[in-house]
Amino acid sequence: MGREGMKHPAPLRVLWAHHKPTLLLLVVALVFALFFAARFVLHVAYWHQMQGTRPQIEEWMTPRYIAKAWHIPPDDIRAALHLPDDSRRQTLEDIAKSQGRPVEALLSDLTVFLHSHMAPPS
């Protein structure tokens, strides 16, 4: 009688019986791959949704950050905030303190300026 009548053990059973560490490493690698693939898909979906939106102005932001996020020249933002050309890396909170005004007033004025000078989203 040839090989036709013989039953072969299931491939996973053979792997488990003879190659446990290798099979466990394969399972761990597959779990990691699935985790990072899912994470990648979620990030792509999030950033695709955020494309073209402009963030709400907050006190931790710098004029340069706002200029980039809103697609407005940094010089226009500095002019709206009455800042000298050499001012760098000040948050809106720092700017409000140095001007002796409440942060909320600065945020409100800047928001009005931004909405009146909006460039179309790219």
Predicted confidence at residue 17, as pLDDT, reads 87
State which H helix or E strand residue 45 sits in.
Answer: helix 20-50
**C-alpha span between 67 and 62 (Å, rounded):** 9
Contact predicate 35/77, CB 8 Å:
no
CB within 8 A of 54, min separation 6: which ones?
Answer: 69, 70, 114, 118, 121
**C-alpha span between 104 and 96 (Å, rounded):** 9
Count Cα atoms within 13 angstroms, Cβ side, for 19: 10
CB within 8 A of 120, min separation 6: which ones?
Answer: 71
Domain range annotation of the chain: 9-50, 63-116
Query: What does the pLDDT profile of the chain (122 residues) look like in tens digits?
Result: 556 666 777 888 888 888 899 989 999 999 999 999 999 999 999 888 777 778 889 999 999 999 988 888 988 999 999 888 777 788 999 999 999 999 999 999 999 999 888 755 55
Which pair of tokens denotes residue 104? Answer: 């909320």
* Cα-based angle 97, 99, 102 (whole degrees, multiple of 5): 55
Nearest to 81, CA basis, from 56, 108, 54: 108
